[in-house]
Chain A
Amino acid sequence: MVLRMSETFSPNIPIQTARVAKVSTESEKVKTLELNTRLVCQPGQFLMVWVPGVGERPISIANNDPLTISIANVGKMSGELHKLKPGSLLSFRGPLGNGFKVHEGWKRILVVGGGYGVAPLYFLAKMATSNKIKTFAVVGAKTAKEIVYEDKLYLVTKETFVTTDDGSKGAKGTVMLEVERLMTTAGHKPDAVFACGPERMMLAIARECLKHEIPCQLSLERYMKCGLGVCGSCDLGGKTVCRDGPVFDALEALGLGDFGTFKRDASGKKVPI
């Protein structure tokens, strides 16, 4: 599509402002904001959420109707988002990027979330289940109190399995424990796997799927600035995570130089993962 401003005279992706309708606490660190609006979007797409005078950050979409985001309190920007109350204004650009793609013929899928990476997978599971795809979920975290979205996932999946590193909830170990079990259990082997969470977890899942020849898609993360594929800040092996991603096929991700080894800070300096 040729987007000539002379023909449109309006931004392609404008800033939208909605009001917070409901705030819920998922864990000590994670809050969920439901907005008084809905958005036409795909699971895996994200918003650039703007807090005037503070900043703008990418946040994945946890539901489309009502538009919902979950925020982990990890810095100044997310701290400001945690202060929002019902009635507060929230501004964003989006939906941005490419989401998860559920191919025709897939009858059983597995979603794997690490920590608060589970949020976009809830949206995916909800859509898949409504399309009569048997959906299973594995969610993992370091400890029980960091497990989020478990209750929500029970409602939109056939089965949801929990793992914690310390064994305080579900099976003791990483998500790989359950992922490997499901891949080798008759009646559970998925037609495709979708993952979002720490990159080391996604690397392990990508390799496991490769071994079992199961299609796999990963929602990746890099330091994002423009969100439009032009500033180059979120480069991953020559791809922009914001526009070419954030969802990548695992085979492609495994071929991108830095995947699983390096990310970059705001200056573009390499930082080991």
Chain B
Amino acid sequence: MTDLSTSLFGKKIKNPFVLASGVLGVTKASLETVAENGAGAVTTKSLSLEPRKGHENPIIVETECGMLNAVGYSNPGIEDGIAEFSDWERTEPLIMSIVGKDEKEFTLLASKIEENKEQLNCTAIEIALSCPHTPGFGVMAGQADPKAAERITTAVRKETSLPIIVKLSPSVPGEVEAAKLAQKAGASAINMGNSLGPGMKIDINRGKPVLGFKMGGMSGPALKPIAIRCVYDIYEAVKIPIIGTGGVNDGQDAIEMMMAGASFVGVGTALYFRGPDAFKKIESEMRAWLKERSYKKASEIIGVAHE
């Protein structure tokens, strides 16, 4: 049987699949369910300093090529977030995702997690620089630009000894440079990446944009080829591992992402298309494909597209 297990920042994990931030992850119980349902590691919904209600509904709409969402970083704030996710007991690593308006906010958030890291029992901090639809954050605040990514990563690195994952955007030019500068600033891994866009869906019967925020980030099939290309380019530029996130819906998508250079594969929207046990389905599909071709370990395919 092909071995899918790998290691994330020194922790053995059963497979390379990571629940992407923003999908479920409001509660510890939901992350436990996702881990139970097959994820190798899980990421919380992003936490900000203050509670945020997020954008008005609709926050999501299906399109002919994937999902468009504008959740708007709804979260109860870092204090409640730490209380919520504390005492993580499962073996699947817990990744704490944070979002700030500037490096000062990121610094404060990282220091709060650092102070509580034993209580949380978390494995890494993910700094999301790349949401395409929330004013003051991510792409709309210029955080996915190379210089900003370097500045924020440097600031967070000073606050914590935890591994830092820097989540970049597939729609901001300079993503390779951003990944290089994040690595230089002390990032432990790159997550490429966030949703694409922003895009818009107009309901023609009502003649109005559907999303409450009008525009949102595109995920699912439309995102996949772009995420693959971004991962491919970043793999050539950095030594730290890459979490390839974007449009992975089945085992073959995950294999493609790893061949592009991802050591880990982020999964999000597939939980809608494939259901709550998407991780188990993706895992068994990947295993079957690799077994048929006599691979002993999934890690053998990482970056083979470059050879």
Q: Is the CB of A11 within 8 A of B56?
A: no
How long is the Cα–Cα vector from A91 to B69 in the complex, in angstroms?
18
**Contacts between the two chains (Cβ within 8 Å), count:** 146
* B274 located at the interface, meaning its Cβ lies under 8 Å from any Cβ of chain A in the complex: yes
* B71 located at the interface, meaning its Cβ lies under 8 Å from any Cβ of chain A in the complex: yes
**CB proximity to A under 8 Å, residues B66-115:** 66-67, 69, 71, 74-77, 80, 84
* A185 located at the interface, meaning its Cβ lies under 8 Å from any Cβ of chain B in the complex: no
Stretch at the interface among A78-86, A155-163, A174-182, A261-269: A261-269
* B200 located at the interface, meaning its Cβ lies under 8 Å from any Cβ of chain A in the complex: no
**CB proximity to B under 8 Å, residues A245-273:** 257, 264-270
Majority secondary structure, A binding face:
loop
Q: Is the CB of B26 within 8 A of A238?
A: no
Q: Is the CB of B206 within 8 A of A267?
A: no
How long is the Cα–Cα vector from A240 to B26 in the complex, in angstroms?
11
Stretch at the interface among A46-54, A106-114, A141-149: A46-54
* B12 located at the interface, meaning its Cβ lies under 8 Å from any Cβ of chain A in the complex: no
List residues of chain A with CB within 8 A of the CB of B27. Answer: 232, 235, 238, 264, 268
Residue in contact with B74 in the complex, picked from A56, A89, A267, CB distance below 8 Å:
A267
* B57 located at the interface, meaning its Cβ lies under 8 Å from any Cβ of chain A in the complex: yes
Stretch at the interface among A12-20, A59-67, A123-131: A12-20
Residue in contact with B23 in the complex, picked from A56, A89, A230, A237, CB distance below 8 Å:
A230
The 8 A CB mask of A18-61 against B (1 = contact, 0 = none) is 00000000000000000000000000000010101111110000
Count contacts on A: residues with CB < 8 A to the other chain: 47
Residue in contact with B54 in the complex, picked from A5, A56, A266, CB distance below 8 Å:
A266
* A133 located at the interface, meaning its Cβ lies under 8 Å from any Cβ of chain B in the complex: no
How long is the Cα–Cα vector from A15 to B206 in the complex, in angstroms?
10
How long is the Cα–Cα vector from A91 to B61 in the complex, in angstroms?
13
When C-beta atoms are compared, the residue in chain A nearest to B53 turns out to be A266
Question: How far is the CB of A56 from the nearest CB of chain B, in Å?
Answer: 4
Given the known interface contacts A15-B203, A17-B205, A268-B76, the answer about A232 and B56 at a Cβ–Cβ threshold of 8 Å is no
Residue in contact with B58 in the complex, picked from A50, A240, A244, A268, CB distance below 8 Å:
A50
Residue in contact with A5 in the complex, picked from B33, B56, B66, B84, CB distance below 8 Å:
B66
Q: Is the CB of B29 within 8 A of A237?
A: yes
Q: Is the CB of A230 within 8 A of B29?
A: no
How long is the Cα–Cα vector from A52 to B57 in the complex, in angstroms?
10
Q: Is the CB of A15 within 8 A of B210?
A: yes
Question: How far is the CB of A110 from the nearest CB of chain B, in Å?
Answer: 31
How long is the Cα–Cα vector from A264 to B77 in the complex, in angstroms?
13
The 8 A CB mask of B52-64 against A (1 = contact, 0 = none) is 1110111111111
Q: Is the CB of A238 within 8 A of B60?
A: no
Stretch at the interface among B120-128, B142-150, B185-193, B265-273: B265-273
Count contacts on B: residues with CB < 8 A to the other chain: 54
How long is the Cα–Cα vector from A13 to B67 in the complex, in angstroms?
11
Residue in contact with B75 in the complex, picked from A56, A244, A267, CB distance below 8 Å:
A267
Q: Is the CB of B33 within 8 A of A231?
A: no
Residue in contact with A91 in the complex, picked from B23, B59, B203, B221, CB distance below 8 Å:
B203
When C-beta atoms are compared, the residue in chain A nearest to B32 turns out to be A238
* A243 located at the interface, meaning its Cβ lies under 8 Å from any Cβ of chain B in the complex: yes
Q: Is the CB of A226 within 8 A of B26?
A: no
Given the known interface contacts A48-B58, A91-B205, A238-B30, the answer about A3 and B274 at a Cβ–Cβ threshold of 8 Å is yes
When C-beta atoms are compared, the residue in chain B nearest to A13 turns out to be B62
Q: Is the CB of B212 within 8 A of A55?
A: yes
Given the known interface contacts A231-B71, A243-B276, the answer about A225 and B221 at a Cβ–Cβ threshold of 8 Å is no
Q: Is the CB of A3 within 8 A of B273?
A: yes
When C-beta atoms are compared, the residue in chain B nearest to A228 turns out to be B272
How long is the Cα–Cα vector from A268 to B80 in the complex, in angstroms?
9
How long is the Cα–Cα vector from A48 to B57 in the complex, in angstroms?
10
The 8 A CB mask of B19-52 against A (1 = contact, 0 = none) is 0001111110110110000000000010000011
* A186 located at the interface, meaning its Cβ lies under 8 Å from any Cβ of chain B in the complex: no
5 contacts between A and B (CB under 8 A): A5-B220, A52-B210, A225-B57, A257-B29, A269-B76
**Using a CB–CB distance below 8 Å, which chain A residues touch chain B?**
2-6, 9-15, 17, 48, 50, 52-57, 89, 91, 225-233, 235, 237-240, 243-244, 257, 264-270
**Using a CB–CB distance below 8 Å, which chain B residues touch chain A?**
22-27, 29-30, 32-33, 45, 51-54, 56-67, 69, 71, 74-77, 80, 84, 203, 205-206, 208, 210, 212, 220-221, 249-250, 268-269, 271-276, 281
